Amino acid sequence: MKKTLFVLLLTVLFATFALAETVITVAAGAVGQELELAKDAAAKYMDMHPGVTVNVLETPDLATDRLGLYLQFFEAESPEVDVYMIDTIWPGDLAAHLVDLYQFDGVKELVDTMFPAMVENDTVDGKLVAIPWFTDAGLLYYRKDLLEKYGLEVPKTWDDLENAAKIIMDGEKKDNPDFWGFVWQGDAYEGLTCDALEWIVSNGGGTIISTDKEITIANEKAAEIIDKAAGWVGTISPNGVVGMPEEGARAVWQAGNAVFMRNWPYAYSLSNAEDSAVAGKFGVSPLPAGDSGRGAAALGGWQLAVSKYSENPEIAVDVALYLAGYESQKNRAIVGSLNPTIEALYQDPEVLEATPIFGELYDVFVNAVPRPSTVSAPNYNEVSTAFFQAVHSVLTGVETDTMAALEELALDLEDITGFEIIW
Ligand code: GLC
C-alpha cells in the first residue's frame, strides 16, 4: 500500500513538473558575442516566464555549415529545435519547414516597426516565415593611426586600397613580419559569396543572377575584379586568406596585424574592446569602388524562424518575439554592435553613442545589395555554392582563365535554376 502511494506521488510530481516545464530550444550563432548575447536574453525571458526553459544551442560559425546542420533537423522533421536563427538568404529555401508567424499574436505589431524590405525578404508566398533579428552589411575597417603615419587617405577605390596596403605593409613588416595589408573572407563558403558579390557589384558586373531571372555572371567586369582579388592573395593578403572566414580575419586584424579588414558590424564593438590591440585606432567606411564608381555592401543578417515540427509553437513564437523585441535588440546593438532591424533604434541616443557607425554609415545599411536568394529560391544554396566554388578556384589558382570559369559557372547556374544566360 505504502509503495503504491509512493509511486502515485512520484507520478503526480513528475506530471506537474512536466506540465510546468516547457523547453524551447533556440539554434543560435556563436560568431563574436552572439552566443553570450542570446544566452543573456534567454535568461531574462526565463526570469519572466518561470515555467519555460530556453536552451540556446550553439551552431557552427560558417553559414554554409550551419545550413547543413539545420537541413539534417528539418529532413528528420525533428522537434528538437523550436526556434532557428536563419540567414537572410534562406527564407525561400527553408519556407517549407517553417510556420507562418502571422498566425500568432503580437507578430504583426512587432514587424510593423521593422524595415519593410527586411520583412518582405522574410515573407514567402504571403507567409511570414521569420522575424528579422539583426541586419548586416559589408564594411571596410581601416587603421586610422597607420593611414596618418604614412600620410594616406581612407581608400575610395580598390586601387587606392592596394596602393595604401602595399606602402604600409612595406613599412610595418620591418618590425612585424606578421603584418598584412588586407584581410577578408576568402574561404570557400557563403562568406566568399558576399565578398565577391561586393567586388563585382562595385565594378559594374551585376549580381550573379538579376531580379529578372537572367544569369548575368559571365561578364568581363566580373572577371576583371575577381582577377584583381586573386592578385591580392599572397601579396597584400596572406596566402591563408583563401581559408579565412569572418572570425579568422578578425583575429589577424584585432591582433594589430592588418591595415584593412572587410567584415560585418559585429567586429566593431569587439575591435574596441579592452583586449583588442586596435581599440581606438581604427575607423570604418564604405567598401571601395571599382569601375562602377561606387562601393557596394552585401546585405546580410539573421532572422528568427519557428519550426513546423516544434511541439510548442506558441511559446516558441513568444520567445522569438522577446529575442527580436525592442529591449533585446537595443542591448545587442549596444553591447555587440549588431544592427537592429527596428527602425527607431537608429535614432536611439544610447545606441548611437555606443555604436556611432549605425548613424554614420546608415546609408550603407539601407542600400546594401541582396544576394540573388529570393529569385533563385528554393535553390539559392546551390547557386551560391557553385558561385563561391568558382571564385575560390580562381583565388587559389586552380583555374587560371577567369572568364572561362565564369562561363562554366553560368552553365551550372542554368542547370540549377533553368534561367536564361546573358552572354
Ligand atoms: C554574416 C551575414 C550573413 C552571411 C554570412 C556569410 O553572418 O549576416 O548574411 O551569409 O555572414 O558568412
Provide long-range contacts, Cβ within 8 A and 24+ apart, for 227-231.
Answer: 227/394, 227/402, 228/158, 228/199, 228/290, 229/195, 229/196, 229/199, 229/395, 230/394, 230/395, 230/397, 230/402
Ligand 1 pocket test: which of 136, 184, 250 has the largest number of ligand atoms within 8 Å of its C-beta?
136
The pLDDT of residue 19 is above 70: no
Say which residue, 4 or 181, is predicted with more confidence.
Answer: 181
Q: Which residue has the cell 567584415?
A: 263
pTM of the model: 0.94
32 lines ligand 1 (CB under 6 A): no
The answer to whether the bond into 378 is cis (omega within 30° of 0) is yes
* Euclidean distance between CA atoms 157 and 228, whole angstroms: 12
Q: Which amino acid is at 204?
A: G
The pLDDT of residue 135 is above 60: yes
Nearest ligand 1 atom, CA 264 = 1
The pLDDT of residue 42 is above 80: yes
* Euclidean distance between CA atoms 125 and 115, whole angstroms: 19
Each residue's pLDDT tens digit, 284-296: 999 999 999 999 9
| Segment holding 181, helix H or strand E | strand 180-183
Q: Measure 138 CA to ligand 1 centroid, in angstroms.
A: 9
Q: What is the mean pLDDT of the chain?
A: 96
Nearest ligand 1 atom, CA 136 = 8
pLDDT given for residue 21 in this prediction: 87
The pLDDT of residue 132 is above 60: yes
- Give the DSSP letter string of 260-292: EEEE-THHHHHHTSTT-TTTTSEEEEPPPB-TT
Mean pLDDT of 61-82: 97
Which residue's CA is the closest to the ligand 1 atom numbered 1? 300
Residue extent(s) of CATH 3.40.190.10 domains in the chain: 2-135+301-363, 139-296+379-421
How would residue 1 be classed by pLDDT, with cut points 50, 70 and 90? very low
Total length of the chain = 423
Q: Measure 134 CA to ligand 1 centroid, in angstroms.
A: 11
- The topology (CATH level 3) of 2-135+301-363 is D-Maltodextrin-Binding Protein; domain 2 (3.40.190)
The sheet carrying 139-143 orders its strands as 180-183, 258-263, 139-143, 282-285
Q: Measure 147 CA to ligand 1 centroid, in angstroms.
A: 28
Fill in the DSSP letter of residue 219: S
The pLDDT of residue 264 is above 60: yes
Q: Quick check: 297 and 137 in contact, CB under 8 A?
A: yes
264 lines ligand 1 (CB under 6 A): yes
Angle at 256 between CA 251 and CA 259, to 5 degrees: 100
Mean pLDDT of 347-360: 98
Q: Measure 87 CA to ligand 1 centroid, in angstroms.
A: 7
The pLDDT of residue 384 is above 50: yes
Per DSSP, the three-state class of 304 is strand
The pLDDT of residue 69 is above 90: yes
Mean pLDDT of 45-60: 97
* Spatial CA neighbour of 301 closest among 342, 346, 335, 260: 342
The pLDDT of residue 137 is above 60: yes
Nearest ligand 1 atom, CA 135 = 8
Q: Give percent above pLDDT 90 in the chain.
A: 95
The pLDDT of residue 167 is above 50: yes
Nearest ligand 1 atom, CA 302 = 8
The pLDDT of residue 2 is above 60: no
Angle at 343 between CA 342 and CA 349, to 5 degrees: 100
Q: Measure 7 CA to ligand 1 centroid, in angstroms.
A: 52
Each residue's pLDDT tens digit, 178-199: 999 999 999 999 999 999 999 9
Place domain 139-296+379-421 in its CATH homologous superfamily.
Periplasmic binding protein-like II (3.40.190.10)
Rounded to the nearest 10 degrees, the angle between the axes of helix 402-417 and helix 220-232 is 120
Strands 299-306 and 131-137: antiparallel
Q: Measure 349 CA to ligand 1 centroid, in angstroms.
A: 27
